[in-house]
């Protein structure tokens, strides 16, 4: 990622390009207990300046359907209805759902997941930009 800084010094515009390192990685993996909200991704102030979540996968490890929820909590706010991206969405037996999202997260933002059974595994993929 590149940023540009511009200064106006005595009527002369000076531009400086800044290259920000990007680290592509697995941002989180969890297999939560049933009916428990669990952090999938938490952006810490020391980890990076920004996180971009490109996709989230939900794998059903059981031979029966299950439901899941995904919520984004800015600045680690208390979970509320306004935070949900997905609510009680069904993933079929022994199936996987991949969600392409392009979420941008800042320091202290959290992605929470919830599963109706202990047989769902969640993964978040993306990049840290510092």
Q: Convert the pLDDT of each residue in 74-91 to its tens digit.
A: 999 999 999 999 999 999
Residue 110, beta-bridge partner list: 42, 73
Rg (alpha carbons) of the chain, rounded to whole number? 18
For residue 2, is pLDDT > 70?
no
Q: What residue segments make up the domains of the chain, in order of their start?
A: 21-129
Residue 90, beta-bridge partner list: 67
Q: Which of 19-33, 39-53, 75-89 has the lowest mean pLDDT?
A: 39-53
Q: Tell me if the pTM is above 0.85.
A: no
Longest CA span, the chain: 71
Third-level CATH fold of 21-129: Jelly Rolls (2.60.120)
Residues 108-112, mean pLDDT to the nearest whole number:
96
């Amino acid at each position: 990622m590149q940023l540009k800084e511009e200064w106006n010094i005595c009527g002369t515009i000076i531009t400086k390009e800044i290259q920000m390192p990007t680290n592509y990685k697995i941002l989180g993996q969890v297999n939560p207990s049933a009916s428990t909200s669990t952090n999938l991704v938490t952006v810490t102030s020391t980890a990076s300046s920004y996180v971009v979540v490109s996709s989230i996968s939900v794998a059903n490890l059981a031979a029966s359907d299950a439901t899941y929820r995904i919520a984004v909590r800015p600045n680690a706010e208390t979970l509320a209805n306004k935070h949900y991206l997905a609510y009680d969405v069904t993933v079929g037996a022994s199936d996987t759902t991949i969600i392409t999202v392009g979420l941008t997260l800042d320091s202290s933002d959290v992605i929470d997941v919830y599963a109706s059974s202990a047989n769902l595994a969640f993964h978040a993929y993306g990049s840290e930009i510092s």
